[in-house]
Structure 1
Amino acid sequence: MNQGLPLDFEQQIDQGHTAWTMGKFTEAVKHLTPMMEVAHLNPGAFVDNERGSAAVQKGLIALALSHNGIGDESAARATIGEILRTFPNEKMSAGTYGMAANKLFESVRLDLAGRGKGRLVIKPANAGGVVYLNERIDGVGTRTKDQLLPGEYRVMLQTGAQISRSHTVKLAANEDLTLTVDGGFDDAVRTKADWTGLGFASAADREKSEASYAATFGKSINATAVALIGIDVSNGRPSVIAALVKRDTGGELRRASIPLDASPSRDQLRGLARFLAGEDAGPGIEIHVAKPAKPEARVPDATVTTGEPAEPERPAEQPTTSGRWGGWKWMAS
């Protein structure tokens, strides 16, 4: 799981860079490779952080040339490709880095451009969001990038103080892709080592968006079915409640519960799962009227995978009666 940037991130970059300047290429690779990996896992750390971005640029150049120094041209070319996509104004001039480095850099640039450039349209779900492409500000609102070199790109959206998850787009040569980024959905998704689900700031937010977000989540991982499972108060009693959600609209297909007057048996829980799968309800399972999708609801297609989100702690809460799932705002999907 993502643990954030190390406190000595810039110092580690400096150490790797120094090793490269001294010709200690293997040592430089050992220092810089994990730093570049952790940087890509923490794109939000570079929002409004020019110093951090400069450290990444410095580290990538030293890493590319260190790979080349130990004879790993394939790794050197891959790293230069990342430099070209993230820092398109970088020239790796012969005056600064030498003729051999400049020749390699230009060879990679011409090779990638010769394959054919791609087109990426980035559409914020809400107008006014600031779009970041490979951790660098690209602009506000819908962005159309017509001349992108093929390869991997990371996209984030900032709306006010809210930063979305990082979306990874693998753009092929001559490919045309559209990515819609919903900051609200990204903020609701919670992933931890032992739990994945949706979290909302209020019962009203959950009632408005939970089912459609669950359907969007299902689409993003190519799930054939989506179910919401949680604990709520039903008919005055704490209950395990489950609903099968339509992937296209977020409306419910089936909904049932098991009262928690006593711990439910394994057979009851399996029976609840079988009910969602289309079988008749067994003993101890209460059937509810499934809630339709809201009139305006339409779940967008997921076109890319999402990166690591922030990991707020799951709060301890007690069930109360309000909204779709009562007071429990943490639901697994």
Structure 2
Amino acid sequence: MDDHAVIAEGVEKRYGDKKALAGFDLAVRTGTVHGLLGPNGAGKTTAVRVLATLLRFDGGRAEVAGVDVARDPRRVRRRIGLTGQYAAVDEVLTGRQNLEMFGRLFHLGGRRAALRAGELLEQFDLVQAGDKGVGTYSGGMRRRLDLAASMILAPRVLFLDEPTTGLDPRSRGEVWEAVRRLVAGGTTVLLTTQYLEEADRLASRITVIDHGRAIADDTPDGLKNRVGGDRIEVVVRDAADIPTVAKTVARVSDTEPVTDRPERRVHATVTDRVAALTEVARTLQDEGIGVEDIGLRRPSLDDVFLRLTGHGTDETTKETAA
């Protein structure tokens, strides 16, 4: 498995009687972003901490960047970078001073640390902000600086543990672009996240973890297809038209259409998405049926979790409670 930068086979981690990891398996191809998706408490962070040598595990085998994690953790640490859920930079210092400080902590020496800081500020598009206090940075800029700090030694493997939690959409996009540049430069990234959208945008493959086990491993599109693939959805103006719309949708769908009378909605999964949408739209127009909305929908994050784990995400729970 020389083409894999991270391998875990049957990894177990126990806290007393509780198993945080219960035979966890993972294979991350070199030079890719691999998403690790799961709800809080599923074992994502524990898996990362084990692979990053921050936790000793109780069983199984793990290898990172060609080095056995249990046998030679020091050598593993020289080949990896880690960015946690919250930025670990000093807000009093400037961006440049932060990077120089991290360089010195990694024993680069003053001159080499300064040179590396300049390289990273340019790589992460922070040159103009480099000599400003980090306290003035936006959330996205702080996370990019945090990423830069984790790249001081140009690691072969970078672990990103929920790097965009709490960021606004613009800041999240800035972090995504920074990650893409890292991978283009040859870094392998293991990304843990609760957001299917984030994994979809960045990862070439996703492992879904729940109760300490990998319960699915596929491409983003493959995961979506497991929960029904594309579906056509029609919202009519008059609920009395729902039976007619359901019959029309049934002619192009793979499953029996689902109707929601209070929402005046009909939807069903389809294979030939464009042909299905075209036929339904034309038929409804010919029959004079008023439509408020018609379109193709992909499964949502909650669709994936409901099918694979039997429950929604913690983010969904929080939104519902609010």
Give the TM-score normalised by structure 1.
Answer: 0.30
Give the TM-score normalised by structure 2.
Answer: 0.31
